[in-house]
Amino acid sequence: MNIFSQAYRLFEINRVLIRHNLDEMIYAIPAFRPLRFVYHLSPWNWGKKKENRAPRPVRIRRALEDLGPVFVKFGQVLSTRRDMLPDDLANELAQLQDNVPPFSGAEARDIIEKSLEKPVSELFKNFDEKPLASASIAQVHTATLHDGREAIIKVVRPEIEKTIRHDIDLMLLIARMVERFSHIGKRLRPIEVVEDYEKVIFDELDLGREAANASQLRRNHEGSPDLYVPEVYWDYCTPEVMVMERIYGIPVGKTQTLRDHNINMKVLGERGVEIFFTQVFTHNFFHADMHPGNIFIDESNPDNPKYIAVDFGIMGTLEPADQRYLAENLHAFFNRDYKRVAEAHIESGWVPAETKASEFEAAIRTVCEPIFQLPIKEISYGKLLLRLFQTAQRFNMEVQPQLVLLQKTLLNIEGMGRELYPDLDLWVTAKPFLQRWMDEQAGIRHLLKGAKENLPKFIEQMPHMPVMINDVIKQMHDNQLNMQMESQQLEQIRKEIKSANQRTVLTLSGSALLVTATLSNSIASQSTITWGVAAIGVLLLAYGLIKK
């Protein structure tokens, strides 16, 4: 990005900030406070009344929408970092809509033909140039394959990678300024946030990666009564184009429509929770973007409704240790075992090892007890987990990116569940699942599972074991011989050092006696004693030089 285009983009950003009365935020940075008079002297700020302005979070959301799709996506990602943002701003950013003006169907056709190296008429029986939906990274068209199957085609926006690179460079520039000049810069870690976003958005640009995610999730839920994942048509997939089965269903956000179809809302709410815990603890591969726009309901069996998921650009996984500590945290939460919550955080390394468990336990109790006094249907365990993360910040808890994704997913799932079935009790639904999972990790099931997983490796290595055992014995024997040789060598070195010390003492003593005799001869007349001293000196010196 050259200096002129960067300067022009900065000018555009500044114009949008002024339009939404956010330029005051620039002068709030300590380094720019001496220039605050410029803000008051600017003509566009004359006569503005603060009482007529929308709340700042609303103005920030609107500014991001005006700045374009890359900033909209950034705001959506930023909304998941509730460990760093005030609740009102995080809630407002979560409302950012990923709807942007579509690009032309002719451009979409060109991208498909260039990527798949065939004319659209040869690839599809029918292709609708009018987009079904348009988002910041890609847009969706409908088509029919030559065998009659209905499909959707996701096409990456033209030149989007260049646009993203330009805007991310600017974001990094702004982040460096905030981190350097703002007193809250080090706590917010803006550079880290932008770099995390850069990884997320460039991962979403690769539709081949998204197709692989969808395929894995479909395999995990094959035959499941809870969730349906559309089939990927791999013959038509590239990094720029993804083709998959077209699905039909009622958007999960249209609760009245669901009720009109007599959908069993209680079953639907509970199944959402079960899907979440199954993906996190059984499959360890969870859909991390389960907002209402990506979830539909199959209404064909109202008493036994099934979820349908789309958009698989953001998926999450956890390390086994994180899985275990998360399960223990949730289980201890539900049982109000605050001591175990504190211990699990320290054991996991999420907070420093020197943290006093008793102080951390007291802080957690202060947050949790008022919440647990509420009726069950008014308790949000997603928000409770969020409050815990925020409390842990006071104890220098390190932000865990994989837990941030999980927290976002839990909030989405619980929010949808309560919208569908307000009396949903997350604890009643989740407790049996968590208890069973923890038993499997520590009980006989875990032992049998480990044996089952490792048995093929053991059988594979059995023919080689005699040779391997012989090699181990030989190495042990060789090591013992080496140790004996090293011991003998050390003893020889010790003797040589001792002998050398003795020679040094004899040589120095002989030299001293010779010097004494020489001085005596120069001062007094020669005597038998002087010659005797000289003789002894010569003998000691000679013995010291020739002694081995």
Residue 50 CB burial class (10 angstroms; 0-12, 13-18, ≥19): exposed
Close Cβ partners of 215 (under 8 Å, ≥ 6 residues apart): 232, 234
Query: How many Å apart are CA 409 and CA 432, to the nearest integer?
Result: 20
Task: Classify 316 as helix, strand or coil.
Answer: strand
Structure tokens at 48: 């503005």
Cα dihedral sign, 62-66-68-71: negative
At residue 146, the 3 state secondary structure works out as: coil
What's the CA gap between 376 and 382, in Å, rounded? Answer: 13
CB 301 within 8 A of CB 289: no
> Under DSSP, is residue 151 helix (H, G, I), strand (E, B) or coil?
strand
Query: Tokens 């022009």 sit at which residue?
Result: 8
Show the beta-strand stretches assigned E in 113-237. Answer: 126-127, 133-134, 138-144, 150-156, 227-228
Hey, is 139 helix, strand or coil? strand
Q: Catalytic annotation on 439?
A: no
CA pair distance 153, 465, nearest whole angstrom: 53
Set 23, 289, 311, 322: catalytic member:
289
The span from the CA of 414 to the CA of 426, in Å, is 8
Contact between 425 and 376 under an 8 Å Cβ cutoff? The reply is: yes
Q: Which residues are catalytic?
A: 289
